[in-house]
Structure 1
């Protein structure tokens, strides 16, 4: 039961962060980016894309594992390479130093999305390890 409660809280956190990011991007980001010089504007665009990529990857992973919790998919199916948390090269990178010149609200969103992404990355690694152990115990091949 605690596992489901943790999962539900994490899903709510991700959805809340997504809604907050959407509000920021639709209400403030354009006006703030117009005040930036070219270099800062490029950094702003890159970090905004990183924010969106993190949230997209996290939500896709959470929805997949919601299906596991609901019994609609096995852990082995959920941990095939195409369903694992993606974008690690881009999303796991700590860009807080590069983002120091960006608006405070964007810095906050980036920091929180990075923390959430790293948490989900650890869960993804744990789920994959668990699936591999289950496969070895059952003796069957892992679905691809």
Structure 2
């Protein structure tokens, strides 16, 4: 079996650039998000709640990426990174709050949740040293065999 792939500096830099663009879109969306007529107070509350949640999500991702950048520049040891650089779990958006927001704002929130999910999977794999679990591979082969009539 080949050596497992690891996170490298170009991957972190590409993700960091992507995160900065997304964070800027979040800042713009929640700075200028218009309230719909009628339920103005409820919409403002939903914007505040989901804006804070979304901004926090992006700041967690950026902090994780900055820690990895510091590691690659020699400012953090691997021990320090593993001990203090874990990505906090996400708090998904509240469907009731989302129902009050514009579709574009909801789409941006979903994009940040998906981005956090990508980074969370990368963090988990990195913490597990990108180990492939043979049992999982065997279960997948068995499922494929049952599904397609193979071995």
* Pair in the same fold by TM > 0.5: yes
Instruction: Give the equivalent residue in structure 2 for 1:3.
Output: 8
Q: Cα distance, 1:97 vs. partner? A: 6.5
Name the CA shift for 1:10/1:97 in 2 (closer, same or farther; >3 Å).
farther
Moved more, 71-80 or 108-117: 71-80
Whole-Å separation in 1 of the counterparts to 2:92 and 2:7: 30
State the number of aligned residues: 124
**Over 6 Å off, 4+ runs:** none
Equivalents in 2 of 1:96, 1:11: separation in Å?
28
Q: Which runs of 5+ in 1 are unaligned?
A: 131-144
Unaligned runs of 5+ in 2: 1-5, 130-151
| Partner residue in 1 for 2:80 | 77
Write the distance in 2 (CA, Å) between the matches of 1:44 and 1:3.
Answer: 36
Aligned partners of 1:72 and 1:21: how far apart in 2? 29
Task: Check 1:122–1:92 CA distance in 2 against 1; reply closer, same or farther (3 A cut).
Answer: farther
Where 2:8 maps in the other structure, the secondary structure is helix
Give 2:35's aligned residue: 33
TM-score, length of structure 1 as denominator length: 0.71
Shift of 1:6: 2.2
Larger Rg: 2
Contact 2:57 2:112 (8 Å CA) reproduced: yes
Structure 2 CA distance for partners of 1:42 and 1:23, relative to 1, 3 Å: closer
Inter-partner Cα distance in structure 2 for 1:19 and 1:52 = 10
TM-score w.r.t. the length of structure 2 is 0.68
Cα distance in 1, alignment partners of residues 80 and 104 from structure 2: 38
The structure carrying a bigger helix percent of its residues is: 1
Spell out the pairing of 1:113-132 with structure 2 (5 A cutoff): 113-130=112-129
Structure-2 separation of matches of 1:2 and 1:120: 11
Residue 14 of structure 1, aligned match among 1, 14, 19: 19
Inter-CA distance 14–65: structure 2 relative to 1 (3 Å threshold): same
In structure 2, what is the equivalent of residue 133 of structure 1? none
What secondary structure does 1:33 align onto? Answer: coil
